[in-house]
A and B are shown apart, each in its own frame.
Chain A
Amino acid sequence: MTLTAKQLSKEFPRKSRTSNCFTALCPLDFTLEPGKLTVLTGRSGSGKSTLLNVLAGLMQPTQGQVLADGQDLYAMPDVALSEFRNRHIGVVPQGQTAVYSLSLLENILLPVTLFRRPSDAEQQRAQLLLTELGIVKLADVPPAELSGGEMKRMAIARALLPQPEIVLADEPTADLDEENTDIVFRALQTAAKNGAAVLAVTHEQGAERYADRVCTMHNGILEG
């Protein structure tokens, strides 16, 4: 699935000397191609998360469209968009994200259990991801007892579980050591190899190594 942004822009209301709003994204065209891992870097506050959230269908852009294989995300009603995100877009949000009443494994299975009982294949895939990301021993641990890095890996496994065609990861390696960073990028790489369109926002220095394409954000302007 190809994710295309057309003349996408985002402004936030914020008073300054010159204007009443702050432009987080200048109008940009952007395509996320299937089978490719795109790495997006840029200074803090440059608008990376804003772009990622708009692409994920989580934040209405000020102008422009986000098209998934030609389908306009923001033209869909909420129920349809939510279902679309559940089926086709795996999102790893910035920061810690967990449902605290569920165990780590249950958190990972959440995208499935939200709608139905997980199949054996899905259970197996969950185990596979746990092993791959080195958190298999923590399967039954509640999130409150996890370290920041463990929770981050949990969020990645959760996003990858339904084998989404689009993966949007916001600083997926923020809390991780070198070894785990490598593991995470390899997992994202695998997802891309299996045909997903993957976008990873990162501050990581060596991330280009894994990337099929590298973009940079400068004050809301996308380069590369």
Chain B
Amino acid sequence: MMHNLALRNLRARSLRTAILIALTALLSLTICGGTLLVSGLQRGLGSLEARLGADIMVVPYEARTKSNLETIVLQGNPGYFYMDRSRYEKIAGTEGIAQISAQFYLASASSGCCSIPVQIIGFDPETDFTVTPWMKRSYEGTLQNGDIVVGNDLNAFPGDTLQFYGVECHVAAKLEKTGTYYDSAVFTNEETIVSLIQSSLDKGMNDFADTDPAKAVSAVLINVADGYSPEEVMNDINIHVKKVKAVQTKEMIAGIAGSLQGTSDVIGLLIAAVWVLGLVILLLTFSMQMNERRREFAVMRVVGMSRRSLAWLVMQEALLSGACGAVIGTAAALIGMLSFRSAIGAQIGLPFLLPGTAGTAGLALGAVMAVMLSGAAAAACTAYRISQIDTARILRGDNG
């Protein structure tokens, strides 16, 4: 009955209840949405860092501008630029290189699987050290000619066949979600990509200017040997190899990570501000109801409700509306984040990777709990004050 009474009171004051629910919903929306946003950004960057796995990236000189490089490294829109393989040999001759591997980027014409052209990334399984380690997580074998590995966003599955430039490719594996451009890319070995290039040229669809496509590479990835600093090696390459630009990828990420930290801090501060504001408004709303209903609370005391039960009644009302709002707000944040995650990533131009199901669920639960707890704290103050009312004094006058 007590429980029922709380519900009855909430229903009878539907406007105030609606406001309370909306307020807590907004609070949990901010907390849950904000935390998801921050963690999505941080995880996206972390994922990118892990996937990049190279100290230095060398690209043709045409691609040297800062914005160009950032697009390549951070947003992963591999530019379509090429240099001659001879340059790769030159770079490889630099002192202090532990691992070196070339990659080839090719834009596909639209294919059956995808509404947008996908990026085809060719790598050399012999030397590769950036793609393979993480590909191994979903694919055990070695890529045969004509085999491709597809990113998580592509609507293709192992066993499927996709056509690029008329060449039939066999889907050997599908990668886990990374939140980076790898999700919408296709990976294949060098021989396959050479045949793709060839047929694209046959169809008159690509222009490689004066580079011989059979000998072209798009980028060279380098890991520096122990005892050498990436900076030295980078400078060495920039000085000694012509028409290329070497950059330290991890340093670029570190720069972004720094500004991302700033963004996270701002979002964190906003969350805190909304939280405090929400708490204050909750407190005000609660104490308004206390004044408005003090005569009613006095009646409860007259008919034999103890101070403790009266406080609990007030708590129940607050907790019920708070739980309702917290769940609605958190659900809205989850739905919003999950359905717009790609749009969010595209909008901010950074990889965006939400935590997995368990992580997201934990976060959502945390948001619900946080809002419930603050609501409970605000309600507890009011409940205590209401339980301490001077019944006789309130009842004395007609208007209390």
User: Which residues from chain A sit less than 8 Å from chain B, CB to CB?
Assistant: 49-50, 53-54, 56, 58-59, 78-79, 82-87, 91, 93-102, 110-111, 113-117, 142, 158
Residue in chain B with minimal CB distance to A86: B304
Say yes or no: B9 contacts A79, CB within 8 Å.
no
CA distance A50 to B399 in the complex (A): 17
Known: A94-B395, A101-B9. A87 touches B308 (CB 8 A): no
Q: Are A86 and B395 in contact (CB under 8 A)?
A: no
Taking A97-B298, A101-B11 as contacts, is the C-beta distance between A114 and B1 under 8 angstroms?
A: yes
**Residues A99 and B296 in contact in the complex (CB < 8 Å), given A113-B1, A114-B1, A117-B1:** yes
Which residues of A sit under 8 angstroms from B254, Cβ to Cβ?
none
Chain B residue with the shortest CB-CB distance to A170: B395
B395 near A53 with CB under 8 A, answer yes
With a cutoff of 8 Å between Cβ atoms, the chain B residues found around residue A53 in the complex are 391-392, 395-396
The one of A84, A85, A97 that contacts B299, using a Cβ cutoff of 8 Å: A97
Are B304 and A82 in contact, with the CB atoms below 8 A?
yes
Contact A98:B2 (CB < 8 A) given known A53-B392, A85-B304: no
- Asked if B306 is at the interface of the complex by the 8 Å CB criterion, the answer is yes
Residue of A nearest to B393 (CB): A59
Q: Give the total number of A-B pairs whose CB atoms are below 8 A apart.
A: 97
14 A-B contacts (beta carbon < 8 Å): A53-B391, A59-B390, A91-B302, A91-B303, A94-B398, A95-B397, A95-B398, A95-B400, A96-B295, A100-B296, A101-B13, A114-B303, A114-B304, A114-B309
Q: Is B302 touching A114 in the complex (CB atoms < 8 A)?
A: no
Report B397 CB to chain A, min CB distance, Å.
7
Contact in complex: A78, B306 (CB < 8 Å): yes
Most buried by A among B11, B12, B299, B391: B299
* Among B2, B300, B400, contact of A99 (Cβ-Cβ < 8 Å): B300
Q: Check A97/B302 contact, CB under 8 A, given A53-B392, A58-B392.
A: yes
Give the chain B neighbours of A54 by CB distance below 8 A.
Answer: 392
Shortest distance in angstroms between A21's beta carbon and chain B's nearest beta carbon? 16
> Which B residues are CB-close (under 8 A) to A102?
5, 8
Residues on A with beta carbons closer than 8 Å to the beta carbon of B296: 98-100
Q: A116 to chain B: which residues have CB within 8 Å?
A: 1
Chain B neighbourhood of A86, CB < 8 A: 303-305
Chain A residues within an 8 Å CB radius of B399: 95
Pick the contact of A97: B5, B9, B295, B307 (CB < 8 A): B295
Assess the A93–B304 pair: CB atoms within 8 A: no
Nearest A-chain residue to B396, judged by Cβ: A49
